[in-house]
Amino acid sequence: MESLLNDLAEFYESLDAALQPTKQACGACGECCRKASKLRVYPLELQNIRRFVKDESCIRKFVDFSNNKVVKIWGDIEGHCPFQEGDRCSIYHVRPYFCRVYGHYNFRGSNLLKGCVYCGHSIIYYDRLELPLYEEFLKLMEKVPQLV
Ligand code: SF4
Ligand code: SF4
Q: How many CB atoms lie within 10 A of CB 102?
A: 21
> Residue 68: left if φ>0, alpha if ψ -120 to 50, beta else—which one?
left
Query: What are the backbone angles phi and psi of residue 38, rounded to the nearest 5°?
Result: -130, 140
**Residue 20 included in any domain:** yes
**Residue 148 included in any domain:** no
**Residue 123 included in any domain:** yes
Which atom belonging to ligand 2 lies closest to the Cα atom of 30? 5
**Residue 147 included in any domain:** no
pTM of the model as a whole = 0.85
Which atom belonging to ligand 1 lies closest to the Cα atom of 39? 5
Which atom belonging to ligand 2 lies closest to the Cα atom of 118? 2
> Residue 63's pLDDT is what?
63
**Residue 107 included in any domain:** yes
Ligand number with the minimum distance to the CA of 84:
1
Task: Tell me how long the chain is.
Answer: 148
> Residue 67: left if φ>0, alpha if ψ -120 to 50, beta else—which one?
left
Domain of residue 92: give its range: 2-141
Ligand 2 near 147 CB (within 6 A):
no
Question: What is the pLDDT tens value at each position of the chain, 148 positions in all?
Answer: 889 999 999 999 999 999 987 667 888 888 888 763 566 788 899 889 989 998 877 776 666 554 333 444 554 434 567 888 888 988 999 999 988 999 999 989 888 888 889 998 899 999 999 999 999 999 999 988 664 4
> Residue 33's pLDDT is what?
80
Structural domains counted in the chain: 1
Q: What is the DSSP letter of 102?
A: B
58-66's contacts with Cβ under 8 Å and 24+ in sequence apart are 58/82, 58/83, 63/147, 66/41, 66/147
